């Protein structure tokens, strides 16, 4: 069973109901709040895009940038079903850099920062897929910026749900030195959902059921952090 009922929380109960729906071949959106006005706003950042494909699958050749966008859109839908407003940094396969920029990576990072700064968001989630030169490495990992205690708490919440849902996920969140984490004072995390360099995980990451279960875990961490 993907969800281990060790937390006496309404969040776990709701996520289990959602997971059962996936196993039965159906998706049942659950409204956590009936308020017509979103209670919170988050930024979901799909990493890479455009000429920057990120890493790629060793077996299938799937591009990280494409998977990042798929997971970002799936998480966006779940958050909106839970009455959370979502601001996306990237909505399609294109990069965020200016076409005329001499340094497209710098241009892209500045655009991501601008969207985050202008979002009035409570939280920031950057979505990525991992890769390493050892094919045996696998498992989801959450990172936060050093010195950002709120970010650490947010990362710990999400990592806990991922570990409860997947035995391969890391147990604890880690400090990460990434621009998207360091460019804001908001609680921000970077989620590496798995390793494209691991043949088994590479295939799982491309399936809809695995993606939904992963995103449900992240949603659980978000709701737990918000104390919904």
Tokens 């601001």: give the residue.
87
Could you report the per-residue pLDDT of 62-72, keeping only the tens digit for each?
A: 999 999 999 99
- Please report, for the chain, the start and end positions of each structural domain, with discontinuous segments joined by +: 10-226
* CATH superfamily of domain region 10-226: Zn-dependent exopeptidases (3.40.630.40)
At 157, give phi and psi (nearest 5°): -60, -50
Strand order in the sheet with 141-144: 84-88, 40-46, 123-130, 188-195, 141-144, 174-175
Strands of 97-223, DSSP E: 123-130, 141-144, 174-175, 188-195
Q: With H, G, I as helix, E, B as strand and everything else as coil, classify residue 201.
A: helix
Could you report the per-residue pLDDT of 129-188, keeping only the tens digit for each?
A: 999 999 999 999 999 999 999 999 999 999 999 999 999 999 999 999 999 999 999 999
Could you report the per-residue pLDDT of 89-112, keeping only the tens digit for each?
A: 999 999 999 999 999 999 999 999
Q: Identify whether the C-beta of residue 170 lies closer than 8 Å to the C-beta of residue 194.
A: no
Q: What rounded mean pLDDT belongs to the chain?
A: 89
Tokens 């035995």: give the residue.
167
Q: Identify whether the C-beta of residue 65 lies closer than 8 Å to the C-beta of residue 47.
A: yes
| Cα gap 55→131, rounded to integer Å | 7
Pairing of strands 188-195, 174-175: unpaired
| Cα gap 44→155, rounded to integer Å | 14
- Least Cα distance to 124 among 95, 88, 96 occurs for 88
The model's pTM is 0.85
What's CA 77's distance to the chain center, in Å? 12
């Amino acid at each position: 069973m993907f969800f281990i009922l060790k937390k006496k929380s309404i969040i776990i109960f709701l996520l289990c109901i959602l997971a059962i729906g996936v196993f039965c071949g159906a998706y049942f959106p659950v409204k956590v709040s009936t308020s017509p006005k979103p209670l919170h706003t988050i930024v979901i950042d799909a990493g890479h895009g455009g000429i920057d494909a990120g890493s790629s699958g060793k077996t299938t050749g799937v591009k990280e940038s494409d998977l990042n966008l798929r997971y970002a859109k799936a998480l966006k839908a779940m958050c909106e079903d839970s009455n959370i407003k979502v601001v996306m940094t990237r909505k399609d396969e294109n990069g965020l850099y200016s076409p005329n920029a001499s340094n497209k990576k710098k241009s892209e990072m500045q655009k991501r920062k601008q969207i985050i700064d202008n979002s009035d968001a409570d939280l920031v989630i950057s979505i990525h897929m991992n890769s390493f030169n050892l094919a045996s490495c696998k498992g989801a990992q959450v990172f936060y910026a050093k010195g950002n205690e709120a970010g650490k708490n947010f990362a710990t919440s999400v990592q806990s749900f991922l570990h409860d849902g997947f035995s391969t996920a890391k147990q604890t969140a880690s400090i990460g030195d990434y621009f998207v984490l360091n460019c804001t004072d908001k609680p921000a995390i970077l989620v590496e959902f798995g390793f494209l360099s691991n043949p088994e995980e590479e295939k799982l990451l491309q399936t809809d059921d695995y993606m939904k279960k992963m995103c449900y875990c992240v949603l659980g961490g978000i709701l737990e952090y918000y104390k919904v």
